Chains A and B, each alone.
Chain A
Amino acid sequence: MIPELGHFCLILALCVVAVQGTLPLIGAQRGRSEWIALARPATQAAFLLMLTSFACLTWSFYVSDFSVAYVAGHSNAQLPTLFRVAAVWGGHEGSLLLWVLMLAGWAFAVAQLSRTLDAAMVARVLGVLGLVAVGLLLFVLLTSNPFERLLPAAEDGRDLNPLLQDPGLVFHPPMLYMGYVGFSVAFAFAIAALLSGKLDAAWARWSRPWTMTAWVFLTLGIALGSWWAYYELGWGGWWFWDPVENASFLPWLVGTALIHSLAVTEKRGSFKNWTVLLAIGAFSLSLLGTFLVRSGVLTSVHAFATDPRRGIFILILLALVIGSSLMLFAWRAPKVALGGAFALMSRETLLLIGNVLLVVAAGSVLLGTLYPLIIDALNLGKLSVGPPYFNAVFVPIMAPVVFLMAIGPVARWKHAAGKDIGKRLWIAAILALVAAAAIPLLMGGWTLLTGLGALLAVWVATSVVSQTVLRLKAGMPPPSFWAMQLGHLGVAVFVVGITLVGGYQDERDVRMEPGDTTVVGGYTFRFNGVKNVPGPNYKAAQGEFDLLVDGTLLKKLYPQKRSYFSSTMPMTEAAIDAGFTRDVYVSLGEALEGNAWSVRVYYKPFVNWIWGGCLLMALGGLFAVADRRYRLKFKSTTVAASLEGVPS
């Protein structure tokens, strides 16, 4: 019964979002207040129905109902409860259901938190979100129904892919989806503004906290995914430029451009068209990412079982949503008034350059991701594009962005004097140059990339510190000030991480017998042998290593090689001794003759700074969302704006 209830709720939700996506939009265009008033209750009902539906699927997993095909395919009676619940989004159907649930959740949040906004505007925003939900719910119901029964029921489930049996699965996909889907709100605001023709500061002010919240989730989601790959896959890398990683990174790059551009639109009234285009772009790339992951047009470690029907459906959805938005943009954009003028040397210009560079970076990543597909479509052969392309293209584009990050915040709006900027940054410049020479030498050898990394990181960090010191003299700054500084500091910390790991990591593949030692990065690993240990749904060979520094025992490390009962592929669980300035990392390879094993050991300097930097960026985003002064301000002005808006 429970799965049928879930299915039924899903169908009801489709009917409700069909109302949510049509009547309020028409009502807002024609000024019919009773249709406009439908937007909120419809959104609330849709969310409750989606929540019930999702709960039903979760319940089916919890009680291991193997008469549901999706449960039988992705769970197993022996699977620990936590993973059994997380397995809900461990496959195609369930993760799409999560996608739609989040879409409904974001719409619900907008409905609840927009009491002060003009009713017609809310109706338009919720209407656009409703239309997107119609498309996705149709997709779920017609091609990917998670509630389909399997009769007769399976004896036991096929089990969740062992790679996914990790706490990472519990947090990474929901976080990432919250971010992905969250850009739908910025998108809906942009479309609503285009429809109403009111592209003003109030619109930008309203979009900002929503966009920022989505961006925070996306940042955390990507960072979690990267960290998960780092410790779970045992390859020692933190980013692989895999098509699906890129699919999540593209909206992040455009979203980052968007949050900066929104700031300009709100404060200065400029860049309106550009901001709208970025809002459409960020969500379009989220949809494109969903398409790439779901359709199987690209090979990737994340690929789910694919079905060409699904690919065609979601391509049509993509074409309708993005195509109609861009059409609307092309039609409305020429009528948008230009904002305040600004000089060539001004904060606006700097932000615009940074923005364009971010978009170019996104474009080059998109090109690299789709290049194999394009070449194949043109019958020019099969090829794959790997990290060398991405590194070669991405670093030169992003380095100037990071460089500008120190200058933008000290430049004035409208017109900035080069002399002022120089006065405020000369200390940062000197320190950065010293660091560029000194840090790589201290770490063990100067190269162009490590020099550049050290230069940029210290340049940004000192600029952040000096601005903060200066600002504190004038009293406690508002959260929005901390938001910017934390975000930029996060980038500096991140750059430290990638530079030092990239330049000075050390790894070794060795054959070890019990009693053997090997030295990497000043750490000695002593291998004490391997014994078998049981797990809930696997058995593992567990190695024991002593980690020694200068002959004293620091820690014992226990890497595992697991064989899950349900899979033939063995899984590697690396053992990591994490630290502030370095990780040391050991993973078991293959059992060799006798008691010998092939062992891989890594020394990773400052690798945790990569994710630490992301956390700081996300924290910065939270400060921006939490800025009370800013919220109060926008309350009063939006009231004014909505009063003006009523007669139309």
Chain B
Amino acid sequence: MKKFYVPLALFVVLVGFLAVGLNRDPRAVPSPLVGKPAPAFKVAQLAEPGKTFAPADMLGKVWVLNVWASWCVSCRQEHPLLVEFARAQVAPLIGLDYKDTREDGLRLLRMSGNPYDFSAFDGDGRVGIDYGVYGVPETYIIDKAGTIRHKHTGPITSEVLEKTILPLIDELKKS
């Protein structure tokens, strides 16, 4: 009576899929922007509203764009790592203060240290829309030609920094 084994067989297949699924992160959605030119924008800087910033200014350099905000709790989690990263001077680190007020943003940098070369200010979140920001913090690695090569959503961990971000920056710098 083989038919009575059918439920068991189906279940075994299901467990197989669940076991594989456990090791995947359902939130890790690959960004459609990876491999595409970084969307252009031109906004005022956070500390000096008189100056502006546009990604085109960075052509010829490998650089990192980090989206952050004073209201974002997990940004504080990655903050010490960013400070460390900045100290090593591997690549320019530019912040994008997202949906924030200038005052709050600047206060946070004063209080917990400023890892950024400078931050661009995106108070109304329009730049964020172009970049498809859906969870702050987000980190983009952009190559010399202005193409986004990697996107990380959520706080950076030391593992991500060591195993993904730093090797990628090294590689991009050589090319």
Residues of A within 8 A of B (CB): 273, 277, 280-281, 284, 291, 295-299, 308, 311-312, 315, 318-319, 322-323, 326-327, 329-330, 333-334, 370, 372-374, 376-377, 382, 568
Dominant secondary structure at the A interface: helix
A-chain residues with CB within 8 Å of residue B8 when the two chains form the complex: 323, 326-327, 329-330
Q: Of B7, B20, B28, B30, which is in contact with the most chain A CB atoms at under 10 Å from its CB?
A: B7
Determine the distance from Cα of A334 to Cα of B1 in the docked complex, in whole angstroms.
Answer: 6
- Contact, CB under 8 Å: B21 / A297: yes
Specify which of A280, A323, A333 is in contact with B12 (CB 8 Å cutoff): A323
B-chain residues with CB within 8 Å of residue A295 when the two chains form the complex: 22
- Contact, CB under 8 Å: A373 / B17: yes
- Contact, CB under 8 Å: B26 / A299: yes
Instruction: Please list 6 pairs of residues, one from A and one from B, whose beta carbons are closer than 8 Å in the complex, sorted by A's number.
Output: A295-B22, A323-B15, A370-B14, A373-B17, A382-B29, A568-B72
Min CB–CB distance A198 → chain B (angstroms): 18
Apart from A299-B27, A373-B17, A376-B21, what are 13 other A-B pairs with CB-CB below 8 Å?
A281-B7, A291-B18, A297-B21, A308-B22, A308-B23, A319-B15, A323-B15, A326-B7, A330-B4, A334-B1, A370-B14, A372-B26, A373-B24
- Contact, CB under 8 Å: A568 / B30: no
Chain B interface bracket (under 10, 10 to 19, 20 to 34, 35 or more): 20 to 34
- Contact, CB under 8 Å: A333 / B1: yes
A-chain residues with CB within 8 Å of residue B18 when the two chains form the complex: 291, 297, 315, 318, 373
Residues of B within 8 A of A (CB): 1, 4-5, 7-8, 11-12, 14-15, 17-24, 26-30, 71-73
A-chain residues with CB within 8 Å of residue B71 when the two chains form the complex: 568
Specify which of A284, A312, A374 is in contact with B22 (CB 8 Å cutoff): A312
A-chain residues with CB within 8 Å of residue B27 when the two chains form the complex: 299
Determine the distance from Cα of A334 to Cα of B3 in the docked complex, in whole angstroms.
Answer: 9
Determine the distance from Cα of A308 to Cα of B21 in the docked complex, in whole angstroms.
Answer: 11
Nearest to A328 among chain B residues (CB) is B8
Specify which of B7, B15, B28 is in contact with A318 (CB 8 Å cutoff): B15
- Contact, CB under 8 Å: B21 / A373: yes
- Contact, CB under 8 Å: A296 / B4: no
Specify which of B4, B11, B29, B30 is in contact with A322 (CB 8 Å cutoff): B11
Min CB–CB distance B14 → chain A (angstroms): 8
Nearest to A291 among chain B residues (CB) is B18
B-chain residues with CB within 8 Å of residue A318 when the two chains form the complex: 15, 18
Specify which of B7, B14, B15, B29 is in contact with A277 (CB 8 Å cutoff): B7
Determine the distance from Cα of A444 to Cα of B12 in the docked complex, in whole angstroms.
Answer: 50
Specify which of A296, A311, A323, A376 is in contact with B11 (CB 8 Å cutoff): A323
- Contact, CB under 8 Å: A377 / B17: yes
A-chain residues with CB within 8 Å of residue B26 when the two chains form the complex: 296-299, 372-373, 376, 382
Min CB–CB distance B117 → chain A (angstroms): 27
Q: Of B5, B11, B72, B73, which is in contact with the most chain A CB atoms at under 10 Å from its CB?
A: B11
